[in-house]
Each structure stands twice: as C-alpha cells, then as structure tokens.
C-alpha cells in the first residue's frame, strides 16, 4: 500500500516537472530589435579552416571589445533579423526560436559558456584576417580587424578599400575606412558607430599613427554592412 502511494506521488512529481519543462520551452522569446546577426554567420565565403592552420589568438582587450559590442544575453532571443540567438551573438539557426533548440540553450547559458562560444565563433574571422592581410599587425590592429570581420563578414572585408589601404601600408587612412561601415538595412546604427570607434582605438593602440578626423567636405560615403562596399 505504502509503495503504491509512493509511486503515485513520484508520478505526479514527474508530471509536474515535465509540464514545467514544456512551459519553459514554449514561453515567448524576446525579440531584440537592435541586435544584428554577426556578418560572419551570413558570409557566403564562410567555410572550413584548412587542417593544420594555427590561428593567431586575439588578445584579451580584443575579446572584450567584441563582447561589449555584441552584448551578452543568457537566454534565447530573436535578433533584428528574427534569427534565434544566445550569448554574445551566437547564431543558433536562421529562423525564430521555437522551443526545438538544444537543451543546453533552452535553459540558458552562463557568461563563461557564452565567451567560449564567442571565441570559437571568431575562428573564421581570425583565419580571414590572417589570409587576407599581407603586412605585419600589432596585437591591437589584429584584434580590431578580427572584430571588424566578425561584424561585417570576410567577403566584405576582402573586397574593402580598408584592406587595400592596409596592405598598401597606408595606415593613417585606415581609421577613416573603419568609420564608413555604420549602416545596416539602409539605416545608420549608433551601435555600429560606437563599435567602429572602439576598433579604431585598438588599431591605433601603441602606434604612432595619427588619429585623423575627416575635415569638412572630406567625408567618405557610408557603407551598409549587409550590402558591402560595392552595394552601398
């Protein structure tokens, strides 16, 4: 008799627990209108990194730049494109969250887990910078470029005037090229303006490159990170 009662109690407890899990999986997911999908995930040139390639690591200030720019969210959310995302801009799928995501994401992640995902996500950006740049880079310059590529995509970077100026060692003109990439979806985003200035700060760190600001009448045309330089 006592065993039967215990079994009933356990069955009820299990049912309540499963019901709670189901509710968590189907609860509304927040839409973040100002969160842009990192360009590295939308890049048509994204592929496998050749075996045996040793990636240059991004130093801590560079990781912090990307973390601050992406922002951390422990729970699932839909970004501005309606894509299911978590952590520091980690793209789960190019579709809204619907409760079918992996359990490790359904119940949220810690900042430490988010950072680990971010560092892994940045690998293609690291490889893209290493492959495209033909001049020596300081830790700050490398970090700034990796963040830039993570944000706009390697295809845009490879076709950019920024890369041409960099490889021609016209370093004083590079900051102005960073500052052009401030639009997405046809409008200017303050978050992109701020991110570009942070990248410029890292790029100039520890160098003698002058921090030149455009003079009146010398402003370069803005670029949409979703279209690239040729489409802006």
pLDDT (tens place) for every residue of the chain, 232 residues total: 555 544 444 454 444 343 444 444 445 688 888 899 999 999 887 888 999 999 999 999 999 999 999 999 999 999 999 999 999 999 999 999 999 999 999 999 999 999 999 999 999 999 999 999 999 999 999 999 999 999 999 999 999 999 999 999 999 999 999 999 999 999 999 999 999 999 999 999 988 887 766 655 567 899 999 999 976 5
- What kind and span of H or E run contains 153? none
70, 121, 147, 199: the active-site residue: 70
Give the number of other Cβ atoms within 10 Å of residue 174's Cβ.
24
70 catalytic residue (yes or no): yes
Tell me what pLDDT residue 209 has.
84
65 three-class SS: helix
Q: What is d(CA 80, CA 82) in angstroms, rounded to the nearest whole number? A: 5
DSSP string of 168-224?
TT-GGGHHHHHTTEEEETTEE-HHHHHHHHHHHHHHHTTS------PPTT-PPPPEE
30, 51, 57, 79: the active-site residue: 79
Per-domain boundaries in the chain: 28-232
R_g of the chain, CA atoms, integer Å = 22
Tell me what pLDDT residue 47 has.
84
Tell me what pLDDT residue 180 has.
97
Tell me what pLDDT residue 19 has.
42
Tokens representing residue 178 in the block: 């960073």
Tell me what pLDDT residue 17 has.
45
Tokens representing residue 100 in the block: 């079918």
CATH class of 28-232: mainly alpha
79 catalytic residue (yes or no): yes
Tell me what pLDDT residue 3 has.
55
Q: What is d(CA 55, CA 125) in angstroms, rounded to the nearest whole number? A: 10
Tell me what pLDDT residue 125 has.
97
124 three-class SS: helix
């Amino acid at each position: 008799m006592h065993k039967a009662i215990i079994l009933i109690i356990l069955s009820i407890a299990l049912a309540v627990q499963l019901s709670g899990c189901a509710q968590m999986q189907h609860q509304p997911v927040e839409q973040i209108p100002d969160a842009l999908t990192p360009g590295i995930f939308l890049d048509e040139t994204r592929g496998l990194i050749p075996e045996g390639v040793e990636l240059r690591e991004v130093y801590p200030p560079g990781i912090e730049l990307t973390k601050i720019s992406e922002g951390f969210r422990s729970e699932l959310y839909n970004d501005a494109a309606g894509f299911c995302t978590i952590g520091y801009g980690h793209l789960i799928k190019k579709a809204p969250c619907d409760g079918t995501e992996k359990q490790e994401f359904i119940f949220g992640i810690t900042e430490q887990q988010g950072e680990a995902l971010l560092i892994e996500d940045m690998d293609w950006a690291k490889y893209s910078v290493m492959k495209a740049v033909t001049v020596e880079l300081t830790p700050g310059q490398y970090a700034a470029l990796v963040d830039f590529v993570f944000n706009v995509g390697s295809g845009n970077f490879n076709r950019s005037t920024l890369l041409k100026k960099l490889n021609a060692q016209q370093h004083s003109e590079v900051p102005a090229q960073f500052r052009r990439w401030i639009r997405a979806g046809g409008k200017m985003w303050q978050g992109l303006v701020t991110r570009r200035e942070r990248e410029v700060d890292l790029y100039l760190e520890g160098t003698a490159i002058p921090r030149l600001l455009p003079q009146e009448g010398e402003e370069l045309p803005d670029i949409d990170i979703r279209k690239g330089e040729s489409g802006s």
